[in-house]
Amino acid sequence: MALTKEIKCDKIEVVGDFKAVHCRQATVVLEDGVELSRSFHRHVLHPGDDISGEPQETQDVCNVVWTDTVKADWATFQAEQEAELNPG
């Protein structure tokens, strides 16, 4: 009776104009190869985020969709939001 735990990124989605990358990580507990439980953790990555700790597949997706134009548009959007929240 061996219990094992597998953690893997099982879903990557690209969402919105600024190409936010949604990552779903599944944690699967198995007993002798039979799944006992599965739980999920999600996180979102935005252009400019540090992706060095992400799985290679996630890094590859980010590098494809985060063009220089997308990164510049995201930076402009963030600056506009900051200006609205903290007017001069």
The mean predicted confidence, pLDDT, of the chain is: 96
Residues 22, 40: Cα–Cα separation, whole Å: 13
- Report pTM: 0.85
DSSP state of 23: E
Q: How many CA atoms lie within 13 A of 8 on its CB side?
A: 8
Q: What is the pLDDT of residues 12-44, one digit of tens each?
A: 999 999 999 999 999 999 999 999 999 999 999
Q: What share of the chain is helix, strand, coil (3-state, %, to 5)?
A: 30, 40, 25
Average pLDDT on 61-79 reads: 97
Closest among 30, 53, 27 to 40, alpha carbons compared: 27
